[in-house]
Amino acid sequence: MRPERLVDAVLFDTFGTVVDWRAGISQAVAEFSSAVDPNEFALAWRGRYQPSMAPVRSGEREFVDLDVLHRENLEATAAATGLPLDTADPSDVDWLNRAWHRLPAWPDSVPGLTELKRHFIIGPLSNGHTALLTNMAKHASLPWDVIIGSDITRAYKPDPNAYLRTAELLRLPPERVMLCAAHNTDLAAAQEAGLRTAFIPRPAEYGPSQRLDLQATGPWDVIAQDIVDLATQLREHVPS
């Protein structure tokens, strides 16, 4: 009996799932200044990420892309930690803010995505905007088929529209799209919107202090060790 294809598109959360934002941001901060601990600064900067999107999700603020939010969060984090932005060359500050465009991939990301690409449409389903995700793909050699940024969907996860509009743009029903993420809350929102789900752990995302998302906590369709393992498991559902 021929296997039934589980989905047509496998999309990915990017920050933390496909790329190592902590390593990339820490390196950029270290190159920018020695005035702060780069790892602590990276964690603090990232800590403002979700709260900064909340007013956009609630409708209190018009949609602005992540470059704007990252810059606001950078300035707030710098003020709180003593990172000298005011005396720095503005072009250097812009370079630091765009470090989110230049993040390194986890070791399994490119080989896993390359294998998945043989059988499925692959792309990011991220809060990043199209230019950011395109630059990231070039920097980290991510072999996406398609890039649909949040500036196209005009929605930030876990807003259901972030998932549903992406599926609509691919002309696929939600159940033919899978989200792979290292974050259980992202998967819960995707599942609620009707998407298939896959979990992979990234226990080093936040460093030694990480306590959340060390394992799957929901009834996801696939639980894999990494993206290579995900490709192996999904290949079993591809007709020969």
**Beta carbons within 10 angstroms of residue 31's beta carbon:** 13
pLDDT of residue 195: 98
Quickly state the pLDDT bin for 1 (edges 50, 70, 90): very low
CA 57 to chain centroid: 17
Mean pLDDT of 37-52: 97
* Digit-coded pLDDT (tens) for 146-158: 999 999 999 999 9
What pTM does this model have? 0.95
> CB under 8 Å to 156, separation ≥6 — which residues?
53, 56, 57, 127, 150, 162
Buried b (16+ CB within 10 A) or exposed e, 95-128: ebbbbbbbbebbebbbebbbbbbebbbbbbbbbb
Those residues whose C-beta lies under 8 Å from the C-beta of residue 184, and which sit 6 or more positions away, are 199, 212, 213, 216, 217, 218
Answer yes or no: is pLDDT of 3 > 90. no
Mean pLDDT of all residues in 163-169: 98
Of the pLDDT bands very low, low, confident and very high (cuts 50, 70, 90), residue 236 is: confident
- What domains sit in the chain, N to C, each tagged with a CATH number? 9-20+103-235 (3.40.50.1000), 22-101 (1.10.150.240)
**Mean pLDDT over the full length of the chain:** 95
